[in-house]
Structures are given as structure tokens and as C-alpha cells.
């Protein structure tokens, strides 16, 4: 798609506020208009239709990119990568599936931004396993939930809580926390380099206007994910369902000891069943999501 060159540009001087004002000028699309534009692009290769689909979702890209501003990378770069993800979403979008473009695009936008962050931090720095990547992208969020927001080392009980929640080792939690220390960006830093007239990062945390498109997309995405989860759970046997619900969905979760006593097996056996059931659930959800076009498949995401 040749739309990239026609998108509003974030100037080299870091004037992000001007860009955010520019993209507000693009109107959001009604469902019927979005469908016709998507059909025109898919069936006729109408580049103007594709461009309108992309530009009408630039605010969604910016809002998602803001959520990743704590990784020490320029938000302008995050937005640029998210825009590339948005364009990929338009290329692959099939309106006949029944979902709005924003719902489908959110997966592509997040994937593009996360891949950029991983490349920028380097795999040598953060590790290559799925668990380490999950830890990298969830550590700040969980630290906020458990009120571990102060700088420095985590308390032993906090390390244990995070390791249990993310199913990683305590050593990995300690190591990742140390690696990421010092990279948080102050919310009072000016948006522009000269610090004049552009506001601060905290000014963009909430948008005073009602963002109906983002709200609808998030609600639809949540509903789609929930339905996928419910369907995937049916593929597990009763024991796997019970253990997974007790360990991953219950609040607070049951201990391995509790479940070992319930099923008259060892703690290690319960742990093995939990891991196996979770892997089966993840695969079932991903396969169904790819089938429904709710997220890019592995070959598309690498393209």
C-alpha cells in the first residue's frame, strides 16, 4: 500500500502535539461506510479507500502507542511503527467476517509496536523465551497493581507474587526488574525538545473527548476474547478445567497443595497438568482467533 507517504508526519523536532492535533481532523467512519471502503480496497485495489481506512484509525494507533511510553523509546517512533501495523491490518482485513476494522487492527498495531520495542531493547538484553517476553511487557503493569512502584529492588514477597502470576522463575523477575530499572520516563517531561507550548506527557494520558471508536473496539475485542476462552475451555477434560480455573482464574488462586489433596496426586503432578492445560488452551485460542481473523498468524506477522 502506498498510503505511508500520504500519512501526516511527526516532525524531526519532536512536535508530537502538532501531529496529534492533525490526526483529530480525520473523521471516524460509520459501520456502513467502513464496510464499503474495505470492500472497495479488497475487490478493486482502491488506494484512496485504503488510505481513508488508515487515517480514520490514526487516533487509535496513537492511543495504543501511548500505553507503551514507559519503555524509554520516543513515542513518535512507537506511533510510526503502530501506523505500519495499521496498514498491514487494512491489507489483510476481510469485512465479511463481521468484525469492525478497529477490533482486528488492535492486534496488528500492538504486535508492530511490541516487535519494535523488542528490537530496540535487543533480544540479548531481555531474553528470547516467551516467558521472558511476557514478563517484559507485563512487569510494570503488575508492579502497579501490587503497589510496587518505587525504584529499586522488589521485596521477596513481591517477587514471589509476580513470578506466580506470570508463571516464570523468581530469578527471571529479579533480573528483568533490574534490567528495566531507570528506563521509566517522567510524566512531567515536555513533549517537545524546547519544552515550549507542547504540554507534558501526562497531558495525553486521558483524552477529554469521548473516543467512541476505541471504546467500541475494546469492548468488542474483550467480548471476542472471552468467547474464544469459553470455547477453548471446552476442549479440556474436567480435571484440566478444574485445575486451570483454580490456578489461573480464581481469586485468590488455590495452592498446588490444595489441588494435590483434592485429586490425591503430588504437587508436581498438579503443576504438570496446569502447564499442559494452559498450553492446550493457548493453542486453541490462537488457532480459533487466526481462523476468525482476530489476530495475525505467524507467517503474516513476520512478513
Q: What's the pLDDT tens digit per position in 198-216?
A: 454 444 444 434 455 555 5
CATH of the domain at 253: 1.10.10.10
Are 91 and 32 in a shared domain? yes
**How high does pLDDT run on average in the chain?**
75
- Quick one: 41 and 146 in the same domain? no
> What's the pLDDT score for residue 12?
39
CB 152 within 8 A of CB 181: yes
pLDDT tens string 139-157: 777 877 777 765 567 888 8
Residue where a domain terminates, one of 96, 121, 146: 121
Q: 273 by DSSP, 3-state: which?
A: helix
What is the mean pLDDT of the segment spanning 101-121?
A: 84
52 — pLDDT class (breaks 50, 70, 90): very high
Q: Which domain holds residue 67?
A: 2-121
Question: Is residue 195 one of the residues assigned to a domain?
Answer: no
Q: Has residue 94 been placed in a domain?
A: yes
Q: Does a structural domain hold residue 301?
A: no
Does 95 lie in the same domain as 52? yes
When divided into structural domains, the chain yields a total of 3
Rounded alpha-carbon distances, angstroms, from residue 264 to 254, 256, 277:
15, 11, 18
Same domain, 99 and 141: no
- The answer to the question of residue 190 being in a domain is no
Position 133 in a domain: yes
- Please, which residues bridge with residue 240 across strands? none
pTM for the full model? 0.51
Amino acid at each position: 500500500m502506498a498510503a505511508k507517504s500520504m500519512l501526516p508526519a511527526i516532525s524531526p523536532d519532536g512536535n508530537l502535539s502538532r501531529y496529534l492535533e492533525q490526526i483529530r481532523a480525520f473523521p471516524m467512519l460509520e459501520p456502513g461506510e467502513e464496510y464499503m471502503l474495505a470492500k472497495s480496497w479488497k475487490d478493486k485495489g482502491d488506494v484512496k479507500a485504503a488510505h481513508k481506512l488508515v487515517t480514520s484509525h490514526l487516533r487509535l494507533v496513537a492511543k495504543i502507542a501511548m500505553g507503551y511510553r514507559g519503555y524509554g523509546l520516543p513515542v513518535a517512533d512507537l506511533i510510526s511503527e503502530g501506523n505500519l501495523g495499521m496498514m498491514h491490518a487494512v491489507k489483510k482485513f476481510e469485512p465479511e467476517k463481521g468484525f469492525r476494522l478497529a477490533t482486528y487492527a488492535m492486534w496488528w498495531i500492538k504486535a508492530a509496536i511490541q516487535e519494535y520495542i523488542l528490537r530496540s531493547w535487543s533480544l540479548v538484553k531481555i531474553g528470547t523465551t516467551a516467558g521472558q517476553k511476557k514478563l517484559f511487557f507485563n512487569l510494570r503493569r503488575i508492579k502497579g497493581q501490587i503497589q510496587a512502584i518505587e525504584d529499586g529492588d522488589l521485596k521477596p514477597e513481591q517477587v514471589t507474587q509476580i513470578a506466580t502470576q506470570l508463571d516464570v522463575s523468581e530469578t527471571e523477575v529479579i533480573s528483568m526488574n533490574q534490567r528495566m530499572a531507570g528506563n521509566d520516563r517522567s510524566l512531567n517531561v515536555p513533549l517537545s525538545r524546547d519544552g515550549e507550548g507542547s504540554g507534558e506527557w501526562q497531558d495525553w494520558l486521558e483524552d477529554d473527548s469521548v473516543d467512541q471508536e476505541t471504546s467500541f473496539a475494546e469492548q468488542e475485542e474483550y467480548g471476542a476474547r472471552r468467547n474464544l476462552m469459553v470455547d477453548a475451555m471446552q476442549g479440556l477434560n474436567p480435571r484440566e478445567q478444574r485445575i486451570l480455573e483454580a490456578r489461573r482464574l480464581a481469586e485468590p488462586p488455590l495452592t498446588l497443595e490444595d489441588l494435590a489433596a483434592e485429586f490425591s496426586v503430588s504437587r508436581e503432578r498438579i503443576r504438570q497438568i496446569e502447564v499442559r492445560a494452559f498450553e492446550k488452551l493457548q493453542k486453541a485460542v490462537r488457532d480459533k482467533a487466526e481462523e476468525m481473523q482476530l489476530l495475525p498468524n505467524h507467517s503474516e506477522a513476520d512478513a
